[in-house]
Structure 1
Amino acid sequence: MADFGEILRTIGDYGLFQKLLITGLCLPSLILPMHLYSVMFTHSSSSHHCNTDWILEVSPNLTTEEQLNLTLPRDQDGSFKRCEMYTPVAWDIDSIRKYGINQTITCKDGWVYDTSVYRATIVSDFDLVCEKANFVGVAQTLFMGGILAGSLIFGPLAESLGRKRAAQIPMVLMAVFTVGTALSPNFYLYIAAQFVVGVSYGGYRLNCIVLATEWIGITRRTYPSALIQFLSGAGQVVLAGIAYYIRDWRKVQFVIASPVILVLFYIWLLPESARWLLDSGKTEEAKKLILMAARINKRKVPDNILEKVSNKKKGERGTIVDLFTSPLLRKYFLTLAFSWFSLNLSYYCLTLNVGKFGMDIFLTQLIFGVVEMPAQLLCIWLLEALGRKITVVFTLLVGGFICLLILAVPQDNAIAITVLAAAGRFFMNSAGTICNVYIQELFPTSIRQTANGLGAMATRVAGMLSPVLNMLAVYHWTIPILVYSGLSIAGGAMCIILPETRRKELPDSTEELERKLCASLTQNDASQLSGVKHQSLRDTKL
């Protein structure tokens, strides 16, 4: 029986067919970060104060400065209070000027927003200020919760429906509900639409990597994950430009929905994973796709390979139970899940604070996007030169220590903090790519998507907790940094126990994986024992 690695080597493991597939799957990755990072702009708060136009009915010729001085109390620092106003009185303007107003109330006629930076955000459109200020964090958490739900739903769904369907359905949902987000008349419909957009984000991101990886040979297996992350950085750069020139959140939603609709025209042409089809017993469909791939790659498939494909028996479907009943798989999965969680917690905490580093938010976002692109090019080289294990340990440890260095920088040094934050994201982004590759290579086809889905859930839980962790800065600004930096360092240390998977065939079953791992461990033990014997023999001769 030919394994799928042999089939790929026969039809071409990285020919024109694979390049077209990667192009089709990765183009949406230029769009996906726009949905994620648009949160920073659409949720941005601007300066605001109570609407006090009541005094203009008393004296319509007041200047703006006079109006504010007569109707708004001040904080201790001299700025106007944002959530309080003087109680309206039925006096003439001379009496107001002479005696002043002493009693205050909360804003009763809405707010006036500064539009010098943003013409409209969800904060200004839905009045998410004062007692509703925490609603912004709720919106961010629900969006991240949608990404978590997408991983939870579309991970196992890909095992039954296939990788292709589990990648197509999310794109349809994203197109429909991004437009729905832009048309939302109130906050509650907005967060409902954004939740579904998050579901589609998590579902597509999860399945496009697996679909691409299962068609590619061992020498180019890092490409899909790295290219997706590279395009994610490019998408952030494009978004910074869009948000800079279009400072209305509804228009931005329409703009980022447009390319998703274009993707829908070709996504139905994507091929299914032949590896999944064979494992599901659909040999005829797999055979047609294998022949098509060989034809596009200008290769011929020997009859003996086709005969082996036709005789391929349906594999046993794996479940979550299989993932946790195997001590070896359980140990590796929990290690990867924790590392993935910790690096994403750091990444999202830094990302959601993009407007709080002291520099212009558009420039900071541009820097963040530009930095991620060379990170992926370096990541591809490191993965092939050093392997998966050393690289993931290195990036997590270095990234965690760089984030800790933020504590040593004065809070008013915006440039130094931004540089350290960008460097921290550089290494966390690289570590995320490695974990994406690792989880594809470490787990068998029968439970690969289940493991990938559960692992992605850990990243989405991190995304949900990051706004909450950032809120702890009100108690002390060092708390979030200490937590996410410490967890990243711990995750890097734990990855030392993982096996190396560089240039090894993807396993198709749990038994095959455990057999290969045991054989690898036995060979290592044997080589170590042989080394000890040779050393003892040399000592004896001396």
Structure 2
Amino acid sequence: MVFGGATPKWRCIEGMSENATLLTNGTDEESCYVTVNGVSKQCEVFSFNDDMNTAVSQFSLVCGREWISSTITSIQMAGIFVGNIACGQVADLIGRKKPFFGAILTLVVLNIGTAFSVSWVMFAVFRFLLGVAMGFQLTVQYNLVAEFTLAKWRTWVVAIPSWAIESSVFGLVCWALKDLFWIHIVTAAVGCPFLFTYWFVPESFRWYIGHDKTDKAKKIVSRIAEFNGKGPPKSIELIGGGQLMDKKDRTYHFLDLFRDRTIRLYTCLLIFVWISLGLTGYGIQFGVPKLSGNLFVNMFVLGLASSPVQFICIWLQNRLGRKKTTWLFYGLGAVAAFVVATAGRFPDGNGKDWTTNVFAIIALTLVYAVWSPIQTFTMELYPTVVRNLGYGTQNTMARIGAIIGPQLVYLETMFEGSLYWISGTVAVIAMFLIIPIPETSRMHLADKIVPITDELLPSTREKAQGVELTTEKEITHM
């Protein structure tokens, strides 16, 4: 919707009815009124430049309908909100693999359907459904890979393939096609080849361990070792042996995120942090079409600038830790946002445009970088049995911010600088809220929820952390 919500140049070409004589009002381009027989009337028919076809030009979302574009974006984010909630529960109940590939298939089908929308209402419904499917994919994809990954490599899981690189490539695709119909078709086509990997990607062995299905977990570990030409690790027989086993496989629900005192604290603090990610990230991102200069250049430069920052962020997470990396990028991003907000008071001119564009892109680049440590941070805090539920819940909170973000873009048109003042302030608050949360870069992934009490001996607590404590070095060499 960064492209779909963009407004090409337009003008009014007709009066009150289709039978009226077409009038070209060359002196009042992009005016919502036209003079017919000396009477000023509301324009009903518009002509848009054919340099690009967006949802705005396709459904004439100008004048009294300009609110529809930002509302469709919020509707899409509401869909992601629903998808995050649903997937958080589903993926912890039936596993990671089926929801992930189901989401890809749904995205392929819905993108084709969206391309053939004949009204903005139909388009909005499809965008909502796309949002639900995106919510499933965004929630489960990182957990599926992270549960096969050791601590120092988990930082790569959320950055490679980099969202920034993808955004940059998408900017080039938009520039080449300039048509929302074909962008949806190409997006659907890109998803098709990945459907065939269903028969090669295994279920998370950690999910099997968390649900006491250790035989299936051992088969997956052995299969990976065999694929890499290695023998099964000697400690494979320890899988499940150190767990605090339930009498039967237990089903976990949303309330389990609040029953344990420690997990409850982390969940509550992270809720606002994730809301801040959605609000600042999507708010500034959807404000890109409002920046001066070429839309496609801005989209491409944004992705291009973000790519090296993402790689720096990966290195810093392992060097400084997840928390300090978050503080660094959020702090610098807040400063850049405040600069843009202050620049709004400058006199109009090239200096103001240049300052606004550069620091807006810097602010968004730095906020993009924050997603990586926060995602890694969140995945490492939750035990396997509620990891997808916890991560999905926090992703849901990000969608609350993302629903608000496009409305801040609309607010920016009325109060210049408001988007950036709010974004910067929210980022600073988030920095303080992660202080009580422990650093996770040296922590092992836990599989079960184990209350940390004085009665729980250190040795028992270590056993509760799961197979990674005993097999980490060995599995590394599989």
Per the normalisation by structure 2, the TM-score is: 0.88
User: Could you tell me which residue of structure 2 aligns to residue 143 of structure 1?
Assistant: 76
Residue 185 of structure 1 and its aligned partner are, at CA, apart by 1.8
**Which of 345, 368, 371 is residue 429 of structure 1 equivalent to?**
368
5 Å-filtered alignment, 1:14-163, equals 39-52=1-14, 68-69=24-25, 79-80=28-29, 82-87=31-36, 101-108=37-44, 110-115=45-50, 117-118=51-52, 120-163=53-96
State the distance in 1 between where 2:101 and 2:145 align.
14
3-state DSSP of counterpart to 2:255: helix
Instruction: Judge which range, 485-494 or 475-484, deviates more.
Output: 475-484
5 Å-filtered alignment, 1:179-190, equals 179-190=112-123
The count of corresponding residues between Structure 1 and Structure 2 is: 451
3-state DSSP of counterpart to 1:472: helix
Residue 428 of structure 1 and its aligned partner are, at CA, apart by 1.1
State the distance in 1 between where 2:297 and 2:276 align.
27
State the distance in 2 between where 1:475 and 1:353 align.
13
- Structure 1 residues 511, 55: CA separation in 2 closer, same or farther (over 3 Å shift)? closer
Does the alignment pair 1:501 with 2:450?
no
User: Could you tell me which residue of structure 2 aligns to residue 414 of structure 1?
Assistant: 353
State the distance in 2 between where 1:289 and 1:84 align.
67
Show CA shifts across 1:182-209 (max 9, x none).
1112222211111111111121111110
| Seq. identity, % | 23
Amino acid in the other structure paired with 1:468: Q
Show CA shifts across 1:332-376 (max 9, x none).
122222112213311111111112221211111111111221122
Larger radius of gyration: 1
Does the alignment pair 1:492 with 2:428?
no
Amino acid in the other structure paired with 1:85: V
User: Could you tell me which residue of structure 1 aligns to residue 465 of structure 2?
Assistant: none
Residue 157 of structure 1 and its aligned partner are, at CA, apart by 0.5
Instruction: Judge which range, 157-166 or 500-509, deviates more.
Output: 500-509
- Structure 1 residues 399, 159: CA separation in 2 closer, same or farther (over 3 Å shift)? same
- Structure 1 residues 462, 56: CA separation in 2 closer, same or farther (over 3 Å shift)? closer
Residue 54 of structure 1 and its aligned partner are, at CA, apart by 10
Show CA shifts across 1:57-94 (max 9, x none).
999xxxx9xx535xx7x6xxxx346222223xxxxxxx
State the distance in 2 between where 1:241 and 1:514 align.
54
5 Å-filtered alignment, 1:349-368, equals 349-368=283-302
Amino acid in the other structure paired with 2:132: V
Per the normalisation by structure 1, the TM-score is: 0.78
Gaps of 5+ in 2: 460-478
User: Could you tell me which residue of structure 2 aligns to residue 192 of structure 1?
Assistant: 125
User: Could you tell me which residue of structure 1 aligns to residue 463 of structure 2?
Assistant: none
- Structure 1 residues 308, 428: CA separation in 2 closer, same or farther (over 3 Å shift)? closer
CA RMSD in angstroms comes to 2.7
Residue 487 of structure 1 and its aligned partner are, at CA, apart by 0.7
**Which of 217, 223, 228 is residue 286 of structure 1 equivalent to?**
217
State the distance in 1 between where 2:399 and 2:302 align.
20
User: Could you tell me which residue of structure 1 aligns to residue 468 of structure 2?
Assistant: none
State the distance in 1 between where 2:321 and 2:421 align.
29
5 Å-filtered alignment, 1:267-416, equals 267-301=198-232, 305-306=236-237, 308-309=239-240, 313=245, 316-409=250-343, 410=346, 412=349, 413-416=352-355
Residue 284 of structure 1 and its aligned partner are, at CA, apart by 2.5
Q: Judge conservation of contact 1:317–1:447 (CA < 8 Å) in 2.
A: no
State the distance in 2 between where 1:212 and 1:446 align.
15
Instruction: Judge which range, 369-378 or 172-181, deviates more.
Output: 369-378
- Structure 1 residues 279, 81: CA separation in 2 closer, same or farther (over 3 Å shift)? closer
Amino acid in the other structure paired with 1:331: L
Q: Judge conservation of contact 1:283–1:310 (CA < 8 Å) in 2.
A: no
Q: Judge conservation of contact 1:402–1:420 (CA < 8 Å) in 2.
A: yes
Residue 379 of structure 1 and its aligned partner are, at CA, apart by 1.1
Residue 445 of structure 1 and its aligned partner are, at CA, apart by 1.1
- Structure 1 residues 376, 423: CA separation in 2 closer, same or farther (over 3 Å shift)? same
Show CA shifts across 1:411-469 (max 9, x none).
64222212211221222112111110011111111211111011001111111110112
